[in-house]
Structure 1
């Protein structure tokens, strides 16, 4: 490999050594392997300026798979998203898939991308997708590369339809504009879970040097192994969408009007088509946000979950056009936010948990009408463990099955596939961060299908003189009020995050969790990171252990359940808290008051924001 301590580039006046042998080796490797002049230049400039700390941050660690794949800032370094790390990850995946699938080359992989990154930056999603394809084509693997940007759900959908062994989506979803990511799907159409993620990264480490042909994007013009799946996937997706359309005749004559914003992302064309499939007139687009813009120029952040403050243009357009419902898909169209105009002329922006209550009720209601002879005990709904337990309450009364998974749709998707293979029916699944799976055509959250299903639900409710907020109240009165609050703190120091969680594990002594928080006694503690659950006789957690992330759940004596966890994609400590009332009982205002008091105690005593330098963000 040469001498890493030697002159890394004799054409530049840069140091021959940083004084750190590990860093020197990493610098040498980077400059040997990276063929992108822009990212090479970034490392050379840092080296010349003596910025060793930043060089170490970029070069001496690698990305790991979180709840939504690999995500990081775009730029030079093994810890960032760039040409070299994309090629290395794809090569590692190839070596792993080669072991798992003897028919890898003929079955192939699906590759899709969103619209992140400027083409001029040499780091756009499209370019990274083409390099992913080239790395696979150079190994003789069939590749289904979409010829234009697509919603993330189209990749797992295509994996199943085309019987591919895996799929890759280049996206960072709703992250800031500087980020990008690499999301991997397995042959079952679900995001990869352990051990696949760890084994891929092992192969990346084992085969880090890129094959020369991996950079040859001209293979896309000459290889007979490349196919464009766009037309067949879109046609099949829209056809399968009809499975969750129950009131087409009603949709055709509705008086409701809808506004849709695609948040400068990929969704516009596909949401328009989905509305036509359901018999609707297409929704009114927010023109300023209709077309892709990697700078996300009209929103402070490209995340519709942030609520009214980022939906301003859509709400103004709806008021102008007389539309009562606003639908907002995030940039890669896998998540959906919804707002509804009330009689008070104020907008109600639904939380993810509230939308899940509505969609869970709706999917079960429609199933009951369309499948009167089916067995309710064979019907399932799922949610992540940090989401509202409203589906549990509905299931308890109605007789269907409810399950919880770890956070992240990768866990939901895999479990749904298992249930389907067992002949079970899955109607709906969700995570509180506005991710919804209506039906099972896609084993991942899907903002396109969710948008049109919400439109049909709103249309039906309007036909019986109800709006969505009124129906939500009816759901809570029938199944019990579920009052939840979710927010997060920004924390850019991993050491601080680790210290916060380790303090909770050793609160009043070694391996002693807190017994109270403020005035509120703690009944049970579940620590998924450590595999501990005090509510179980053997003290072992029923959910899979997840050592790569921090997550502790506290069940309080007053019935509140609160979880603190780290984000798998961003520098955040998130908290989720919920108070539940019994059906037909419970004072909503009392539940809200109790919940707020518990949250305040949790923040003050367990997170200590001022002491730990945490920056609060409201949701």
Structure 2
């Protein structure tokens, strides 16, 4: 028998849900007396957070479906109605975009319907769009906010609801908590929430398609005319994969705008396909396993450079072929960040020959490479480190711009890149355009490969080598025990390890963003936001190695991100790599103690 609480939520679902498919799912489980499954689907609900919503498309309050989307849209519109007056709601409005996943268009239409009936002007794209188009459109039309319906590079059964505020950046606290409260206060579907039949007849509904051309024009403006001329004279062709997503038409149009040769698209992955038939994980971060068809296309066409977007085109992967060995190298996000960061500075210097970079800023998340800091120190500009996630970099960039500062570039190691401030979020389309333009420039100026340029960057600014991975830990108490041991290392609170390998490598600074300790600051207090609900400790060693240990917010993992940040002139790259690997092995054994704690290593 169902418990009284479960009976209540089953009845709520049967009363409120208007989708035949999900309604049938719940009815079938009820008839089968599958109370365990019903409890799993109905007793908890997808929590709305700073990333909005993301989860499996299935029935129940714990899934992505019509009812949960309707409830979310009702809560979001209620909260926005509290924040903005009627005139702003009718004149500035909100933008909705969607990708090619199952149900994405339907979820966007339900949401648009809720907002139209609540008196908002609504910009609803009629075509599939890349995620960066939504934050761009918010700023282009001065909207109050926006939503992109996408699960990015998640498996095909997932979908998501990514929310942006009026500054064009992803929402951060307190908006997320306040929206969640408003959702919980508006769970029952409003009158006509489900009635989308005459949505497209509404005077308040507009197709923002003109913003697509404006976006392409803005990307073109970030490539100076001299470099567009170089592009036009190059015969360089690149292989491109849209990974069964939405990126191809946007990459095609931006390449044309800056006079690049058309991409050689991987035909099997060029069009949006919600089944993702040729890849197990539609995520170019997976490396060669996700790029098999791209490599095949490159080999057959004689191309040596591959670019690949994830399905919503906010991330970008790069791979190149070594002409000597014939082997393919898939670049890490940190390596692409180094290349694009250098390129951003190079373009700025070209358009500002006076060479004053003192008003310019570079940003990266705290677990990403510190190569931008090395650029800043040598070139006389500023570097800001943020918490992980583009929501922090986007909002920080907005603050800097409001204070008259110039943000050149921001990135995170998970192949996310923000080139210029046209989009205050990661943008795999503009990043593709700039990597291709950089390739043409390097070819025209010495026939230099990306790998050769990367080595030159390391020689000039200091070698930066990364060693990152993770361990699975399925028991939260064990995770807590591991981190609490590090915080009480000498038997008292806030006493941490001071070295590894019996004193061979000494620790210089410790930053603990769980309790606010940062020994690099004069007052010993962290500058970055502190969160007691997650673990994150960074150790900086005297020899330049920086390693961050942190828990994942979505998976049962302890992640580590290590980087050797060498000084310019330290050119024994192999020695630095060996030292890094030796130190990481010791840190894992001494700090995480995987054997004692039954941790499971990442499988290769």
TM-score using structure 2 length: 0.93
Matched residue, 2:129 = 150
2:465 to 475, 483, 492: 483
Matched residue, 1:168 = 147
**Is the CA contact 2:76–2:183 (under 8 Å) kept in the aligned structure 1?**
yes
Instruction: Note if 1:68 corresponds to 2:51.
Output: yes
Matched residue, 1:243 = 221
Which structure 2 residues correspond to residues 312-327 of structure 1 after superposition, within 5 A? 312-327=292-307
Instruction: Note if 1:394 corresponds to 2:379.
Output: no
1:26 to 9, 17, 20: 9
Deviates more, 1:159-168 or 1:497-506: 497-506
Matched residue, 1:598 = 583
**Is the CA contact 1:513–1:525 (under 8 Å) kept in the aligned structure 2?**
no
1:354 to 321, 335, 340: 335
Instruction: Note if 1:432 corresponds to 2:413.
Output: yes
SS in 2 for 1:377: coil
Question: Cα gap change, 1:273/1:212 in structure 2, threshold over 3 Å: closer, same or farther?
Answer: same
Q: Which runs of 5+ in 2 are unaligned?
A: none
Question: Cα gap change, 1:526/1:69 in structure 2, threshold over 3 Å: closer, same or farther?
Answer: farther
Q: Which runs of 5+ in 1 are unaligned?
A: 1-14, 118-123
1:583 to 565, 568, 572: 568
**Is the CA contact 1:68–1:569 (under 8 Å) kept in the aligned structure 2?**
no
**Is the CA contact 1:580–1:591 (under 8 Å) kept in the aligned structure 2?**
no
**Aligned counterparts of 2:599 and 2:567: Cα–Cα separation in 1:** 39
SS in 2 for 1:213: coil
Q: Output the aligned Cα RMSD.
A: 2.2
**Is the CA contact 1:480–1:581 (under 8 Å) kept in the aligned structure 2?**
yes
SS in 2 for 1:372: coil
**Aligned counterparts of 2:248 and 2:557: Cα–Cα separation in 1:** 30
Instruction: Note if 1:414 corresponds to 2:392.
Output: no
Matched residue, 2:602 = 616
**Is the CA contact 1:67–1:407 (under 8 Å) kept in the aligned structure 2?**
no
**Is the CA contact 1:488–1:575 (under 8 Å) kept in the aligned structure 2?**
yes
2:517 to 532, 549, 552: 532
Matched residue, 1:545 = 530
**Is the CA contact 1:68–1:568 (under 8 Å) kept in the aligned structure 2?**
no
Matched residue, 1:207 = 186
Matched residue, 1:294 = 274
**Aligned counterparts of 2:322 and 2:274: Cα–Cα separation in 1:** 33
**Is the CA contact 2:362–2:384 (under 8 Å) kept in the aligned structure 1?**
yes
**Is the CA contact 1:506–1:513 (under 8 Å) kept in the aligned structure 2?**
yes
Instruction: Note if 1:83 corresponds to 2:63.
Output: no
SS in 2 for 1:215: coil
**Is the CA contact 1:487–1:617 (under 8 Å) kept in the aligned structure 2?**
no
**Is the CA contact 2:536–2:549 (under 8 Å) kept in the aligned structure 1?**
yes
Deviation by residue 1:497-544 (Cα, 9 ceiling, x = unmatched)? 556545544556564564155555544332323333343344432101
Q: CA deviation at 1:106?
A: 2.8
Which structure 2 residues correspond to residues 358-397 of structure 1 after superposition, within 5 A? 358-373=339-354, 375-397=356-378
Question: Cα gap change, 1:165/1:443 in structure 2, threshold over 3 Å: closer, same or farther?
Answer: same
**Is the CA contact 2:464–2:565 (under 8 Å) kept in the aligned structure 1?**
yes
Instruction: Note if 1:274 corresponds to 2:250.
Output: no
Matched residue, 1:42 = 25
Instruction: Note if 1:463 corresponds to 2:449.
Output: no
SS in 2 for 1:210: coil
Q: CA deviation at 1:560?
A: 1.8
**Is the CA contact 1:490–1:617 (under 8 Å) kept in the aligned structure 2?**
no
Instruction: Note if 1:260 corresponds to 2:243.
Output: no
SS in 2 for 1:403: strand
TM-score using structure 1 length: 0.91
Q: CA deviation at 1:304?
A: 0.4
Matched residue, 1:194 = 173
SS in 1 for 2:193: helix
**Is the CA contact 1:166–1:184 (under 8 Å) kept in the aligned structure 2?**
yes
Question: Cα gap change, 1:397/1:558 in structure 2, threshold over 3 Å: closer, same or farther?
Answer: closer
Question: Cα gap change, 1:149/1:89 in structure 2, threshold over 3 Å: closer, same or farther?
Answer: same
**Aligned counterparts of 1:35 and 1:603: Cα–Cα separation in 2:** 51
**Aligned counterparts of 2:476 and 2:73: Cα–Cα separation in 1:** 27
Deviates more, 1:64-73 or 1:308-317: 64-73
**Aligned counterparts of 1:57 and 1:263: Cα–Cα separation in 2:** 32
Question: Cα gap change, 1:513/1:132 in structure 2, threshold over 3 Å: closer, same or farther?
Answer: farther
**Aligned counterparts of 1:492 and 1:228: Cα–Cα separation in 2:** 46
**Aligned counterparts of 1:258 and 1:60: Cα–Cα separation in 2:** 50
Q: CA deviation at 1:488?
A: 3.3
